Amino acid sequence: MSPVKAAVALEKQHLDPTELNQLAGLEIEESQIQYFGTPDEVLTDIHGHVGSIAMLLLSRGKPVGYFITRRDLRDAATWWLSWFMLDRREQGKGYGKPAFRLILAWLASRPGCRRIRLQVTPGNDTARTLYVRHGFVETGLEIEGDDVLELDLAEAPVESVPVLAARSGLILVPAAPTGRRAGTPASGAEMMARLGPAAWPPPLESLL
């Protein structure tokens, strides 16, 4: 399990196929089912997509939520955040943003990952606001009525790429050769130019 430093202590734990029944122990508000789906629908989706990875979110050893990810089989540089859910009994305790940053940090550290995509149901304004605040933009694509949003790790400001920002604070530019004021956060593209594409994004382990 990997800890992340935030206002609340969170860890993630990988679930193998024999442990997926643990997801059923987490509860969702009835009003959110229209946006999220039932536990059975989540399990069906996991089994229906090759390479799906299920992670349990824990606080002091207690499950508070989970997330499901997978690499796009048509584009190895793209990873999908298929599901992200917090138990209804744990909502309002400050887990949302730290959990989402932990998830993005983990995805950004996947070898070859250059962009992260997710789906959001129209009307789910709370989720959409969270995604947009972390740098996701509309792609104009739709999947079964859901809008597809994308975070481009090369173009997004570093503060929206938690693999750097949430672990060690903003990456600051010591000099401003392009005319930008010193101390302004570098973009992902600038960091890639400095470090080389093989080094961006840096592995999460190097920032722990």
Asked if residue 170 has pLDDT above 70, the reply is: no
Question: pLDDT tens digit string along 79-117?
Answer: 999 989 888 888 888 888 889 988 988 998 899 999 999
Quote the mean pLDDT of the chain.
74
197 vs 83: which has the higher pLDDT: 83
Q: Which amino acid is at 202?
A: P
pLDDT band (50, 70, 90) for residue 148: very high
Q: How confident is the model at residue 159, as a pLDDT? A: 55
Task: Please state the rounded mean pLDDT for residues 182-193.
Answer: 45
pLDDT tens digits along 35-49: 666 777 777 777 777
Tell me what the mean pLDDT of segment 165-171 comes to: 36
Domains of the chain: 2-157 (3.40.630.30)
User: With a threshold of 0.85, does the pTM exceed it?
Assistant: no
